[in-house]
């Protein structure tokens, strides 16, 4: 069985986000970038399946700038076998990313595509669902447990009422939740080994994918600065403040 894992290079989750001076987007110059956190869970799960003998090859794909190679190398240092960078300088909508991933799926023929449930930069939460529709493959989203048996996977996913358990036929698209596993840290020897693993670079222009943007970002703004909180002595004082100062009751 072969797994394709989609990993995105995003601003590191520990970084304090800054909005560009012209409000056109988020400042990414001189900012620490890392693998999107749920994508680390996707890589971890694929490697665990490989270690348990269910999967024979884990291929990692990232779509983006030349520097996305670092993200692919990080996944290979965790244990992925090889990587593909689809190079583009364009900022792509989830639909364009899904179309690009579809083109890679058609080249690689994996049994399963693992993605993160959401990229923390623009919080779209769309790519996996769109890819499943484009491929006409079943999908399991926000997965917090994954089991594989022959050509069937069993998954758990959190829904409002609790946990939903599903059985899905492969090939399938699965998007991973942070609860799925604890991603490993790559050891130094594995980081060194990852430098020698194969990484193909493809220009997005060679995939004949329509990457035209259908979403226009009008303006990005900082959230309003929060006012400091205050301690109250008792419920009576709280009611007074809500009634006469905040005027919300």
Alpha-carbon distance 18 to 34, whole Å? 16
Q: Output 82 or 241, the one with its CB closest to ligand AMP.
A: 82
95 is a site residue for ligand AMP (CB under 6 A): no
Are the CB atoms for 28 and 52 separated by under 8 Å? Answer: no
Of the candidates 138, 98, 118, the residue with the CA atom closest to the CA atom of residue 40:
118
Query: Could you tell me the smallest distance in angstroms from the CB atom of residue 190 to ligand AMP?
Result: 21
Query: Could you tell me the smallest distance in angstroms from the CB atom of residue 209 to ligand AMP?
Result: 12
Stretch of residues binding ligand AMP (CB under 6 A), selected from 6-14, 16-24, 103-111, 230-238:
6-14
Question: Residues 75 to 94: which contact ligand AMP by CB under 6 A?
Answer: 94
Alpha-carbon distance 40 to 216, whole Å? 29
119 is a site residue for ligand AMP (CB under 6 A): yes
Strand positions, DSSP E, the chain: 2-6, 9-11, 33-35, 57-64, 82-87, 112-116, 139-149, 152-159, 162-169, 172-176, 199-203
10 is a site residue for ligand AMP (CB under 6 A): no
In the shown chain, the binding pattern of residues 51 to 70 toward ligand AMP, with x for contact by CB under 6 A and - for none, equals -----------xxx------
| Structure tokens given for 219 | 């303006």
Q: What is the largest CA-CA distance in the chain?
A: 69
126 is a site residue for ligand AMP (CB under 6 A): yes
Query: Could you tell me the smallest distance in angstroms from the CB atom of residue 177 to ligand AMP?
Result: 11
115 is a site residue for ligand AMP (CB under 6 A): yes
Query: Could you tell me the smallest distance in angstroms from the CB atom of residue 5 to ligand AMP?
Result: 8
Stretch of residues binding ligand AMP (CB under 6 A), selected from 126-134, 159-167, 201-209, 213-221:
126-134
DSSP 170: S
| Sheet of strand 57-64, all strands in order from the earlier edge strand to the far edge | 162-169, 152-159, 139-149, 172-176, 112-116, 2-6, 57-64, 82-87, 199-203
Closest residue to ligand AMP in the complex (CB) = 116
Of the candidates 8, 10, 43, the residue with the CA atom closest to the CA atom of residue 185:
43
For ligand AMP, which residue of 116, 140, 171, 183 counts as binding (CB under 6 A)? 116
- Residues lying near ligand AMP in the complex (CB under 6 A) are found at 6-8, 36, 38-39, 62-64, 94, 97, 115-116, 118-119, 122, 124-128
């Amino acid at each position: 069985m072969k797994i394709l894992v989609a990993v995105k290079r995003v601003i590191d989750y520990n970084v304090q986000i800054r909005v560009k001076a012209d409000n056109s987007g988020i400042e990414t110059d001189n900012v620490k970038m890392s693998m999107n956190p749920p994508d680390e869970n996707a890589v971890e799960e694929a490697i665990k399946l490989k270690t348990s003998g269910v999967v024979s090859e884990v291929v990692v794909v990232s779509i983006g700038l030349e520097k996305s190679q670092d993200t692919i190398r990080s996944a290979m240092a965790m244990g992925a076998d090889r990587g593909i960078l689809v190079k583009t300088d364009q900022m792509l909508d989830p639909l364009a990313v899904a179309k690009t991933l579809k083109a890679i799926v058609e080249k690689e023929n994996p049994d399963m595509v693992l993605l993160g449930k959401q990229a923390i930069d623009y919080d779209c939460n769309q790519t996996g669902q769109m890819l499943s529709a484009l491929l006409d493959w079943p999908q399991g989203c926000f997965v917090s447990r994954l089991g594989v048996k022959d050509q069937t996977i069993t998954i758990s996913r959190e829904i409002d009422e609790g946990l939903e358990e599903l059985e899905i036929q492969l090939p399938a698209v699965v998007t991973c939740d942070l609860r799925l596993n604890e991603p490993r840290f790559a050891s130094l020897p594995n980081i060194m080994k990852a430098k020698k693993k194969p990484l193909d670079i493809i220009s997005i222009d060679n995939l004949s994918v329509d990457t035209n943007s259908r979403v226009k970002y009008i303006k990005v703004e900082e959230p309003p600065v929060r006012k400091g909180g205050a301690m109250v002595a008792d419920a009576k004082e709280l009611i007074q403040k809500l009634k006469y100062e905040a005027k919300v009751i």
